[in-house]
Chain A
């Protein structure tokens, strides 16, 4: 069973270089653990929503919009895809992931 663990950014404060380095180090440790215990599927960080482009090609021609599909204070900054036997395990890993990346996370099952 796979779960998407979304990392949600909810702070307007830019974090310091030291804090970012510490977060990255903690994430590396967590990722290593996911691999060692067989939970790892994939993970990645995302650029800021400002750099997003929305496309809608359902009509005659593709409509291109600069920016994210919805402006929000909270946005996705990264994600893990993990393999876990059930939600209890996924939530435990998610809690550790939240601590490692110092952000709140959402755990959602794949269909």
Chain B
């Protein structure tokens, strides 16, 4: 096996096995810290040994065994130091001999613990990317533009809270499950959106490392909770959004809006996969299962990605789906997006009236001013359109978006 093959095998094993190794060790040793450190050491050992010893036939088992040995070493060292302290390190889990329930994967426990509602959102994101995603602290710090030390502390503090406050290491039971799943999905969606519309003046406009990681985690959750409609919905939404990535930023780094994108550059494979998931959910909806917001958002994206040309878009379908979404999520941002679709169906005048009614709630949000600017331009009110673009540029945080808005203002307003 060549060096590149071995490198590839290590990367593959890391992607496929990291979360499982951490999860199995957490369950076995009752300590996230021990599990994380032991997993990291096991992978470091693989990097050292596999090039000379060869890739083991079952990399996952090899890594778990190696990690378990490291963990035992550490526990021994610590038990010599202080038994009581070691006891305090234990996270509280179920009896290790208890048979696993309907959802059997250890990784699911890990995910629910990392996304526990008693942890701050930033913390949940960092912890999930580190312990489930296997990203390193420097990688996560870079992705979210926070100093490494800050991010390291955030993770350390979270692990300490999990231990001392006894955040349980288990899959929530029946009645709590839907709310907790939606907490997990919120974390994944945040990671995806940060990658999709990265903020900060000097960052790349699209960071595919984050969108890719979010999709990978969503696929994992889908494997673990195959019957959950919102999981399928979020994965479909991510796939259909990611499919347009290449067409979304021009060679000069500007954002390209949906109506101007080269639809031939969309990823047909991702679109097909996303459409399959949406169809699966439509069947469930027809059987009377009310779809949640991710499923409706995915369906809207499915309508857009079904049109070969912007002019073929089924806008009445899009507006109907937004009507459904408004009932699930009556937020002003959803109302704004609905109005944008209404403009295609009933004209810019009707849409502008709706948008203007959102002023008191959305005047600090750049997309509100982008929508107004576009509608005003279409109504021939150039001066007002330009002012709205100015305000949008002031408020936009993404480099490609600022460039796009500036161009749009100067060319068309």
Query: A: which residues have CB within 8 A of B?
Result: 1, 85-88, 90-91, 107-109, 111
A104 to chain B, nearest CB (A): 15
Collect the chain A residues with CB atoms within 8 Å of residue B166's CB: 1, 85-87, 90, 109
Residue on B with the closest CB to A91? B118
Q: Which residues of A contact B176 (CB under 8 A)?
A: 88
What number of B residues sit within 8 Å (CB to CB) of A?
10
A87 proximity list for chain B (CB < 8 A): 116, 118, 165-168
Chain B residues with CB below 8 A from A108, complex form: 165
Q: Given the complex of chains A and B, what is the CA–CA distance between A45 and B131 in angstroms? A: 42
What does DSSP make chain B's interface, helix, strand, loop or mixed?
loop
Residues of chain A with a CB closer than 8 A to B168's CB: 86-88
B164 at the interface (CB under 8 A from A): yes
How far, in whole Å, are A111 and B168 apart by their CA atoms in the complex? 16
Return A107 CB to nearest CB of chain B, in Å: 8
CB-defined contacts of A91 to chain B, threshold 8 Å: 118
Bound form: Cα–Cα A88–B164 in Å:
13
CB distance from A39 to the nearest CB of B (A): 14
Contacts of B165 in A (CB 8 A): 87, 107-109
**Could you tell me the distance between the alpha carbons of A111 and B92 in the complex, rounded to whole angstroms?**
14
Contact of A111 among B164, B167, B172 (CB under 8 A): B164
Distance in Å: Cβ of A88 to nearest Cβ of chain B = 5
Interface of chain B residues 156 through 190 with chain A (CB within 8 A): 164-168, 172, 176
Residues in A whose Cβ lies below 8 Å from that of B92: 1, 85-86
**Min CB gap A35→B, angstroms:** 22
Using Cβ atoms and an 8 Å threshold, which residues of chain B touch A88? Answer: 167-168, 172, 176
Bound form: Cα–Cα A107–B164 in Å? 12
Q: List 24 A-B contacts (CB under 8 A).
A: A1-B92, A1-B166, A85-B92, A85-B166, A86-B92, A86-B166, A86-B167, A86-B168, A87-B116, A87-B118, A87-B165, A87-B166, A87-B167, A87-B168, A88-B167, A88-B168, A88-B172, A88-B176, A91-B118, A107-B165, A108-B165, A109-B164, A109-B165, A111-B164
